[in-house]
Structure 1
C-alpha cells in the first residue's frame, strides 16, 4: 500500500475511518500491611482523581485537534474514577506533513485537525492481593477518532502523564473511506509498529514485545520496565529498613507480579 503523501489523496466526503487507541498502564507497589495498602490507594485516588484525569483527557483532545462537546466524570467509592469526553471536529486547517509520520506526537502542543464522531475515556482500577503485599493501580484509556489524524499522536503525552511499570497498547483501524473514484481505503496512513510513536528515550527504559496483524490493521505493543529498584516499589520507606531475606522475598514477589501482568498468565509457583 502506497498512500504517501496521504494528504494529497482527495476523499469522497468525510474520512469515515475509525481509529482506536487503547492505552493500558500498571503501577505496582509493595504494601506490607492493611494500613499501607489503604494509604497507597488513598494516594492513588488523590493523584489520579476525576479532575486530574479530566485535565489529561482535555490535553489529549487538544493534541488530536478535537472540540470537547461534553464531559462526564465520577470518583467512585471506595476507590477509582472514570471520565468520558465526547468530542467533535475542531477548526479545519492545512494538515501538516508530520501528522502522518510514524513518530511521537507532541508533549503537548495544540494540533488542530479535522475530527468528528469521537470520544475519549479513562477508567482507573486500584487493586490489591487478598493476602496483602501487592497493590496495583491500573488505568485504561481509549481514544477513538474519525478524521485526518491518528490518535497515536496522543500516545507520547499519555505515557508521560502516568508513572507506569507496564504498558499494554493496542491500535486498530476499522471501516473504510473512499477516494473520489470510489476506491475503498481501509487505512489512510502507513504504520509498521506502535513503537514508532514512542520516543527513543522512553523505549530504552522498557522491554518491548509486538504482536501485529498487518492485513487486519491490528497493532499491539507491550512494555515492561527494564531496571528494577526495590525502593521504587516500597510505599513510605526504603529497603534499608528491611533485612536481606525480606528484600529477596519482596523482590521476587514484585518481579513475579510484573511478569504475570506483562505476559498475561499466571506463573507456576506464585
Structure 2
C-alpha cells in the first residue's frame, strides 16, 4: 500500500520502514604502461580521497534531512578509501509533496528536512587493474539507509553527478513495516515503478538500461551502461591523435569488453 500527500494516513508511532539504496558506479580507463596505471591510481586516490567522499556524504545527509552523529573515514594503502556516517532524525516537519513523487531529487542539498532515525550512509572505493591488458577500473559503492518518510532515492540525482560514471548498478529495497492507528500494517509508503524514474531524462538518454524488479517484495534493481564514449576520456596522459587506427580500435574494443562484462555480470571470453 502506498500513500500520497493528499491521502495521508495517520500512523501509530514512528514510521518504522527501512529504505535502502545501494549505488555502485564504475569508472574505466586504459593504462597501457605501469607508469600510466600508477598515475591513474594516484589520480583516483586524490580525486576520491576520504575527505572529498566525506563532503559528498554530508551533502547526501542534507538532502535526506539527517543529522550527522559520527563520521569514520580512512584512506588506505596502497589505494582506496572508506567513509561511514551515522545519522539521526532531523527536525520533524510535514513532508513536502516532492518527498513522495517518483521523480529525480535535487542536484544540491537544499533544505529538504524529514524524519529520520538510526540510519547510516557509507562509501567504499576499490581501484584495481587488469594484470596485462591495460584496463584500470575504479569502483565506488555507496549505501544510504533511512528510516522515516523520505526515500534515499531523492539523493540519487546528486550522487550520479558527483562521480564520473561508465556503469551504474542500483538497488533499492523497502523493508519492514509500519502501522496505521488501527494497527494495519503498511509495507511501503510511496509510489515506485522503477528506479529509472528517479534519474533525470538527460542522464537516461546517455545510458542503456535494464530493470529487474520484484514488486511484491518491494525490491528494485536497475543497471546502466554508457551508450557512447569519447576515447580521449579513457586515455591517461595522451590523446587518440597519438594512436594509430589499429591502436584506437584495439583500445576501444578492450574498453567496450570491460563495460559489457561489468554490465552483464559475466566474462565474455
Change (3 A) 1:111 1:161: same
- Residue 206 of structure 2 corresponds to 205
The answer for the alignment partner of 1:107 in structure 2 is 107
* Segment of structure 1 superposing worse, 224-233 or 156-165: 224-233
1:33–1:132 Cα contact (<8 Å) kept: no
Provide the aligned C-alpha RMSD in A. Answer: 1.0
Q: Is the 8 A contact 1:169 1:220 kept in 2?
A: yes
Alignment partner, residue 17 of structure 2? 17
Q: Distance in 1 between matches of 2:208 and 2:39?
A: 30
Q: Deviations over 1:44-102 (max 9, x none)?
A: 00000000000000000000000000000000000000000000001111210110000
- Aligned pairs, number: 268
State the 1:229 CA deviation.
1.6
**1:31 matches 2:31:** yes
Shift of 1:2: 5.0
Alpha-carbon distance between aligned partners in 1 of 2:8 and 2:258, rounded to the nearest angstrom: 48
Normalising to structure 2: TM-score of the pair? 0.98
Displacement after TM superposition at 1:7 (Å): 6.5
CA distance in 1, matches of 2:58, 2:185: 33
Determine the C-alpha separation between the residues in 2 that align with 1:112 and 1:3: 19
1:256 corresponds in structure 2 to 257
User: What displacement does 1:209 show?
Assistant: 0.7
- Structure 1 partner of 2:43: 43
1:108-187 superposed matches below 5 A: 108=108, 109-187=110-188
Residues in 2 aligned to 1:86 and 1:3: alpha-carbon distance in whole angstroms: 28
1:231 paired to 2:232: yes
| Structure 1 residues 2 and 36: CA distance shift in structure 2, 3 A | closer
Tell me the distance in 1 between the aligned counterparts of 2:154 and 2:2: 21
Unaligned runs of at least 5 residues, structure 1: none
Please give the per-residue CA displacement for 1:110-129, whole angstroms capped at 9, x wherever unaligned.
21111001000000000100
Residue 116 of structure 1: SS of its match in structure 2? coil
Normalised to the residue count of structure 1, the TM-score between the two structures is 0.97
Determine the C-alpha separation between the residues in 2 that align with 1:95 and 1:121. 25
Q: Contact conserved, 2:2 with 2:188, CA < 8 A, in 1?
A: no
* Cα distance in 2, alignment partners of residues 154 and 54 from structure 1: 15
Aligned partners of 1:257, 1:63: CA distance in 2, in Å?
33
1:77 corresponds to which residue?
77
2: CA distance, partners of 1:187 / 1:93: 20
Alignment check: 8 A CA contact 2:105 2:158 kept: yes
Is this contact kept in 2: 1:168–1:223, CA < 8 A? yes
Unaligned runs of 5+ in 2: none
Alpha-carbon contact 2:2-2:190 (below 8 Å) kept: no
Distance of 1:245 and 1:183 partners within structure 2: 66
Q: Which is worse superposed, 125-134 or 80-89?
A: 125-134
